[in-house]
């Protein structure tokens, strides 16, 4: 069976055609923020025109109501709140479509095909324009909580007196550590900032504080970090592991198995492949 996988992020749109579990074709392009959902739908329709597939999975860069298969909110990707994406894609593509937020999709991708294989429960952190989290339980299913809002680690408060986040609260993990805010606060993209070891040493303090909350609550067998910022590699991971070991004292015997996403930029696409094979609230 062939599957269309779609990753709708804050800065880019990625499409992949899977033949079973192999990427047979792919397209990536920057998001046209001004164009909004109509631009994106048109682009998808045109791009996949000669691709053959029987199902479609979508990872979306914002909260998704999984039971209702609806976009719940769009903070980073403007103009999507209330947009009937699943219905429109079904009508356009003529196949079953399953959507989830990109952090849940990334978590599922890494759990099934990447760094989390055989290491469940897994906590996946996407460190990108925004910050999201996804939890995959020991049985291999995504933990979504009562209202599909589980995993929203980006909005735990690291500093209640800190600067105001897009969500309206102060000192959120996302406000202090995400790519969007790093660039606004320091005037340079995260990729440049992370070239500076002195910056990294300060940055990982908040990053470890946020991860520690997930570790204390979830005691995952693996912690997988994806998203653009994770691509900094050992320049980031080595100081981050050291800081985590400092903050998570020997009192806790929870393991600290912190690794970069094995599927790199493609965790969400692989997760979308897995999603396409699941039973969702509205099919």
Which positions touch its own copies (CB under 8 A)? 63, 72-73, 75, 121, 133, 135, 137, 143-157, 160, 166-169, 205, 209, 212-214, 216-221, 247-255
Residue 233: C-alpha distances to residues 105, 131, 226 (Å): 22, 17, 11
Of 55 and 154, CB closest to its own copies: 154
Minimum distance from residue 137 beta carbon to its own copies (Å): 8
Of 78 and 248, CB closest to its own copies: 248
Look-up of token digits 């055989």: 118
Of 25 and 157, CB closest to its own copies: 157
Minimum distance from residue 212 beta carbon to its own copies (Å): 6
Written as one string, the DSSP assignment of 55-124 is: EEEEEESS-EETTTTEE---SSSTT-TT--HHHHHHHHH-SEEEEEEHHHHHHHHHHHHSTTTT--SEEE
Minimum distance from residue 19 beta carbon to its own copies (Å): 34
Of 14 and 104, CB closest to its own copies: 104
Distance (Å, rounded) from C-alpha 143 to C-alpha 34?
33
Pairing of strands 258-260, 222-226: parallel
Minimum distance from residue 208 beta carbon to its own copies (Å): 9
Other residues' Cβ atoms within 10 Å of the Cβ of residue 184:
11
Minimum distance from residue 233 beta carbon to its own copies (Å): 25
Of 129 and 209, CB closest to its own copies: 209
Q: What is residue 131's three-state secondary structure? A: strand
Of 23 and 205, CB closest to its own copies: 205
Continuous H helices in the chain: 36-47, 85-93, 102-113, 173-177, 179-186, 190-193, 197-218, 234-247, 267-276
Q: H or E segment at 17?
A: strand 12-19
Minimum distance from residue 173 beta carbon to its own copies (Å): 9
Minimum distance from residue 206 beta carbon to its own copies (Å): 8
Minimum distance from residue 130 beta carbon to its own copies (Å): 12
Distance (Å, rounded) from C-alpha 212 to C-alpha 227?
19
Q: What does DSSP assign to residue 164?
A: B
Residue 67: C-alpha distances to residues 70, 139, 260 (Å): 8, 19, 30
Of 253 and 279, CB closest to its own copies: 253
Of 50 and 161, CB closest to its own copies: 161
């Amino acid at each position: 069976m062939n599957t269309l996988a779609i990753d709708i992020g804050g800065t880019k749109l990625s499409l992949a055609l899977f033949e079973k579990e192999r990427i047979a074709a792919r397209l990536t392009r920057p998001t046209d923020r001004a164009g909004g959902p109509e631009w994106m739908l048109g682009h998808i329709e045109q791009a996949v025109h000669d691709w053959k597939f029987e199902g479609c999975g979508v990872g979306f860069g914002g909260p998704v109501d999984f039971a209702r298969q609806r976009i719940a909110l769009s903070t980073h990707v403007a103009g999507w709140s209330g947009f009937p994406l699943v219905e429109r894609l079904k009508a356009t593509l003529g196949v079953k479509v399953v959507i989830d937020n990109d952090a849940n999709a990334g978590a599922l991708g890494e759990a099934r095909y990447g760094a989390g294989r055989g290491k469940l429960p897994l906590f996946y952190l996407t460190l990108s324009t925004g910050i999201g989290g996804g939890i995959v339980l020991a049985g291999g299913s995504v933990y979504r909580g009562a209202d599909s809002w589980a995993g929203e680690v980006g909005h735990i408060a690291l500093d209640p007196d800190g600067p105001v986040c897009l969500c309206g609260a102060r000192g959120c993990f996302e406000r202090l550590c995400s790519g969007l805010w790093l660039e606004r606060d320091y005037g340079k993209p995260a990729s440049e900032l992370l070239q500076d070891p002195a910056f990294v040493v300060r940055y990982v303090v908040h990053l470890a504080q946020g991860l520690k909350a997930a570790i204390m609550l979830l005691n995952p067998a693996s912690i997988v970090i994806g998203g653009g910022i994770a691509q900094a590699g050992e320049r980031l991971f080595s100081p981050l592991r050291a800081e985590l070991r400092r903050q998570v004292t020997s009192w806790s015997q929870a393991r600290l198995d912190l690794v970069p996403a094995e599927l790199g930029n493609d965790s969400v696409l692989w997760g979308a492949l897995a999603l396409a094979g699941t039973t969702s609230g509205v099919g």
